[in-house]
Structure 1
Amino acid sequence: MDGGDGVVVTPEVRRAYAYLGAVTERPTAELWDLVDEVGPIEACDRIRVARVPEALAEQSASRRDRVDGAALMDSAGEVGAHLVVPGDPGWPAHALEPLDRPRGRRRGGHGGVATALRPLGLWWRGTADPALSLGRSVAVVGTRAPTPYGRAVAADLASGVCAEGFTVVSGGAFGIDAAAHRAVLGAGGCTIAVLAGGVDRLYPRGNDGMLRAVAESGAVVSAQAPGTGVTRYRFLDRNRLIAALSRATVVVEAAARSGALSTAAWAAALDRPVGAVPGPVTSVASVGCHLLVRDRGAVLVGRTADLIELAGDMGETAAPPTGHLSSWDGLDDVTRRILEALPVTGGSAPAEIAASAGTAPTVTRAVLGRLLSAGAAVRGPEGWRRSGDGGVQLTIPVT
């Protein structure tokens, strides 16, 4: 298969990328330089016999005889995963290339540790199409120890942008990450969990069931090869990847020192918009968000509309920044169509409403849930109907 950049992705090429992605701890400048110069297969052969520059020989010395690309592919296949590589139609080059820009700054690192660059492949466990799911994506991240407020806001933002066709990207962790993933799963949307270890080792184990559900409807993704465990620095690399795969990042709750802040820092470094949700000034869980707004230029996000403006296409607008709407004028097009499709009396099934409004069933269910919470819709024995008098004077909270 030719992905359009001149690389034919044969099984041999894919096995070579599997080897190259695991032979060094991180994808280094020296490794990418070799791949760019001679291609993945020749690069693989040279590394195996240590016929490479000294720096790369040192980086790969402990693993060059231990890594088996074919075995890694087999391990991935056992859990229904596969490797997406440069040249594949779904390879997100536009998202990942900024990770090693400019090339001249890719060498050296600090303390002898090689600077990490874009991955040589993504281990992809799930049904979502990489190109489609990452074309319109937003990261929702935050603390592993959220307050009830933080959980509620994360769920509301995630389900809200999901209803507008966004993929929600997060890290699969406890707390804000899990709240975001679960909200999208409940709304029938697409969510991607980026892991710090292999996709065959779902982590944390307490979220195993949720991550399996994410893989069934979206994807569980990692730059780490199957069988790889988690470490602190792999979590930091995971944060880089979350930022790169998202058009914008919003931090819901975070302490002054938090992994979510590293994700926000990477997003800013990649010229991606960063948002932060405000919280009580007395809440330790919101200190990091307040610092992002005060010191790092993050955009204050308090509702779905703010996040859509942050991550949407240029010119994409949302409802005006008022607490409530006294008419339908400020509603987004999808919500307005579904609201108009609701009968004033009796009731209709979600499938009928979706057909009338011309919206996807998953989007329709998500919007109906928001309208129900807002008191603008009622679900009765006969189905869904509009609440109130059916006119334009409904009071609908802006989400």
Structure 2
Amino acid sequence: MNQALEQPRIPGARRAETVTGTDHEPDSERLARVLLGRLSEPGDAMVGRWLRQLPAVDVVQAIRDGTVPDHPGLDTTRLAGYQARLPGLDPWMDLKRVRDAGGRFIIPGDTEWPSQLDDLGDGRPIGLWVTGTGSLRLLALRSVAVVGSRACTAYGAHVAGELAAQLAERGWTVVSGAAYGIDAAAHRGALAVGGMTAAVLACGVDVAYPKGNAELIRRIGVQGLLVSELPPGEHPNRFRFVLRNRVIAALTRGTVVVEAAVRSGALSTARRARDLNRHTMGVAGPVTSELSAGVHALIRSGGATLVTDAAEITELIGAIGDDLAPQRSGPVLPRDLLEPALARVLEAVPAAAEGAPVERLARQSGFPPDEVLQRLYELGSLGYVERHGAHWRVVRRR
């Protein structure tokens, strides 16, 4: 174990007896980032600026000792607030709780960390809590956010579900916030066709919120991914929803707003996506509907492109550039460098034009269907396989 933790340099750090069933102990930087996630709210730009200058371990130690270097925006009152929250924090227990929930805590520098989140600058997440067996980095390479009003109309729910299903059938990961209304419709649309979806939460990944979507959130955690900046057990508030939206915007290659009133929170996701140079799209609704007034204003101002189906969405997303996704004409990684689970699923995919359904590939590879589906979407992000309806087949090189 790192000597700095045994001193203890990081408050709350203790021996691994509290973390059972692990193959290795977390490093000190990971533990320090868990602590910083407890000390600050998501998107704390001051902590973000600090982390650009110092390792997280040094940041925690400086807060603890009060030996903080000259730092813009950090006054004695704010430092005292950080110090007051330090006693009793237990990063080991937080990591144990997420492992018990089948998840992990990823930080910048990990192979699973999506590099596009770095576009958030000082507001980049300190780390992300993730449940689900798929790779967040790979699944985010071909992802689209579908967001909108919580109090949506039947029209909005139908359109969101249809768009999500069409995107999933084209091999795209659908990302939303697991809220009522458009978010839930988008997740359900992707799940209904055996597609991949990820929910970015404004609470801990072990907290089902809203409670009415508990079963949906559970299913997303099995078939897709649950993602949050907030530690296990944390509950949402109004500000955390707004801050969560910036992660949705940065994580995905584009954002589609299906229904949103003039003051809808979904518009903040669209604005962040636009500021991050992501494609922002909107679906028109009835001109008499207040729930579409925000989308219409966004389109009219030039802040979003009008789209009506998944083909129009993917045409725009595919034009974003080569830096966020690999070219379809060739794999990013040589096939022999794929991790064993990916290689095993790829071996099971037939080269025949008709392909094979997930259930057959599960029998061939020996993995559960949900895990096979996640691996197929990862392979699709890398350009190895493609989805046609309910079947998957190997991409033929030209």
Give the TM-score normalised by structure 1. Answer: 0.72
Question: What aligned pairs does 1:294-305 form with structure 2 within 5 A after superposition?
Answer: 294-305=300-311
Residue 58 of structure 2, aligned match among 35, 38, 42? 42
Residue 98 of structure 1, aligned match among 115, 119, 137? 119
Residue 125 of structure 1, aligned match among 128, 131, 138? 131
How many correspondences in the alignment? 310
Query: What displacement does 1:162 show?
Result: 1.0
Structure 1 residue aligned with 2:194:
188
Contact 1:23 1:67 in 2 (8 A): no
- For the pair 1:167 / 2:167, whether they are aligned, the reply is no
Residue 212 of structure 1, aligned match among 207, 211, 218? 218
Structure 2 residue aligned with 1:357:
354
Structure 2 residue aligned with 1:260:
266
Quote the Cα distance in structure 1 between the aligned partners of 2:53 and 2:314.
Answer: 41
Residues 212, 288 of structure 1: alpha-carbon distance in 2 compared, 3 angstrom cutoff: same
| Residue deviations 1:116-145 (CA, integer Å, cap 9, x gap) | x11110000112211211111100001112
Residues 315, 360 of structure 1: alpha-carbon distance in 2 compared, 3 angstrom cutoff: farther
Structure 1 residue aligned with 2:141:
135
Query: What displacement does 1:353 show?
Result: 11
Query: What displacement does 1:301 show?
Result: 0.8
Residue 25 of structure 1, aligned match among 36, 41, 45? 41
Amino acid at match of 1:289: V
Tell which deviates more after alignment, 353-362 or 257-266.
353-362
Amino acid at match of 1:265: R
| Residue deviations 1:162-191 (CA, integer Å, cap 9, x gap) | 111111000001111111101111111110
Structure 2 residue aligned with 1:67:
89
Quote the Cα distance in structure 2 between the aligned partners of 1:213 and 1:315.
Answer: 33
Contact 1:170 1:181 in 2 (8 A): yes
Structure 2 residue aligned with 1:380:
none
Question: Sequence identity, in percent?
Answer: 43
Structure 1, unaligned runs of 5 or more? 1-8, 101-105, 107-116, 317-350, 369-399
Residues 367, 174 of structure 1: alpha-carbon distance in 2 compared, 3 angstrom cutoff: farther
Quote the Cα distance in structure 2 between the aligned partners of 1:149 and 1:240.
Answer: 26
Structure 2 residue aligned with 1:12:
28
| Residue deviations 1:34-64 (CA, integer Å, cap 9, x gap) | 3333312222222222322443624523322
Query: What displacement does 1:77 show?
Result: 1.6
Contact 2:145 2:256 in 1 (8 A): yes
Residues 169, 352 of structure 1: alpha-carbon distance in 2 compared, 3 angstrom cutoff: closer
Quote the Cα distance in structure 1 between the aligned partners of 2:349 and 2:111.
Answer: 36
Residues 187, 45 of structure 1: alpha-carbon distance in 2 compared, 3 angstrom cutoff: same
Structure 1 residue aligned with 2:340:
none
Q: Write out the 4+ residue segments of structure 1 that deviate beyond 6 Å after TM superposition.
A: 351-354
Residues 177, 366 of structure 1: alpha-carbon distance in 2 compared, 3 angstrom cutoff: farther
- Aligned CA RMSD, in angstroms, stands at 2.5
Question: What aligned pairs does 1:140-151 form with structure 2 within 5 A after superposition?
Answer: 140-151=146-157
Contact 2:104 2:129 in 1 (8 A): yes
- For the pair 1:307 / 2:329, whether they are aligned, the reply is no
Amino acid at match of 2:210: P
SS class of match (2:111)? coil
SS class of match (1:357)? coil
Larger Rg: 1
| Residue deviations 1:329-351 (CA, integer Å, cap 9, x gap) | xxxxxxxxxxxxxxxxxxxxxx9
Contact 1:24 1:59 in 2 (8 A): no
Structure 2 residue aligned with 1:79:
101
Residues 354, 261 of structure 1: alpha-carbon distance in 2 compared, 3 angstrom cutoff: farther
Query: What displacement does 1:310 show?
Result: 2.0
Contact 1:181 1:191 in 2 (8 A): yes
SS class of match (2:85)? coil
Quote the Cα distance in structure 2 between the aligned partners of 1:359 and 1:169.
Answer: 26
SS class of match (1:220)? strand
Query: What displacement does 1:158 show?
Result: 0.6
Residues 140, 367 of structure 1: alpha-carbon distance in 2 compared, 3 angstrom cutoff: farther
Residues 82, 155 of structure 1: alpha-carbon distance in 2 compared, 3 angstrom cutoff: same
Give the TM-score normalised by structure 2. Answer: 0.72
Tell which deviates more after alignment, 48-57 or 156-165.
48-57
Quote the Cα distance in structure 2 between the aligned partners of 1:27 and 1:64.
Answer: 19
